[in-house]
Amino acid sequence: MKRFIIAALVVGVITGLFLGVTSAGRAGASAMGKDPLKGAWEAIDPSDNSHMQLMIGGGPGGTYHVTWVEDYWTGCGGEPGIGIGTGSMDGANDETLLHIDLLLRCPTTNQTFEFDLAFTYSEADDTLSGSGAIWHRVGADI
């Protein structure tokens, strides 16, 4: 029970930060002349209908800092999970392709999982496609 409370608090804090970012607006990044990948995104996991949140911020040397929060991870036994990672653009081949190395941690069990993910940005509808889902922007550059 104690681990569940800690997990709920961690997810609550990250969700609060996410909601703070999303209040910045929903305008498309490319229309604002900013990096189109930076910002807050959300999607529904097509495999289990759980809510997914993705925060992408810029780092030094073009590195992206990525946080992924999901309220139901199968690998976490149906508990929430938090992923932290870094990403980079594949500028040589495709300027819309983001590669992310992500370490997922299950707060209640302390299990970790590593993922190598790819997301494609669509300027036409300001969405990300990746991990089997379509991600919609819910917040501006962070």
Q: What is the pLDDT along the chain (142 residues), one digit of tens a residue?
A: 455 444 444 444 444 444 444 333 334 444 445 788 899 999 999 999 999 999 999 865 679 999 999 999 988 999 999 999 999 987 655 667 899 999 999 999 999 999 999 999 998 999 999 999 999 999 876 5
How far is the C-alpha of 97 from the C-alpha of 122, rounded, in Å?
Answer: 10
3-state SS of 42-55? EEECCCCCCEEEEE
* C-alpha dihedral sign at 100, 38, 55, 47: negative
Q: Which domain holds residue 118?
A: 2-139
Q: Is the pTM here over 0.85, yes or no?
A: no
Q: Provide the number of structural domains found in the chain.
A: 1
Cβ pair 137, 123 in contact under 8 A: no
How far is the C-alpha of 107 from the C-alpha of 87, rounded, in Å?
Answer: 23
One-letter amino acid at 137 equals R
Q: What angle do CA 51, 56, 57 make, to 5 degrees?
A: 150
Give the CATH number of the domain where residue 108 resides.
Answer: 2.40.128.120
Q: Counting Cβ atoms within 10 Å, is residue 31 exposed (0-12), middle (13-18) or buried (19+)? A: exposed
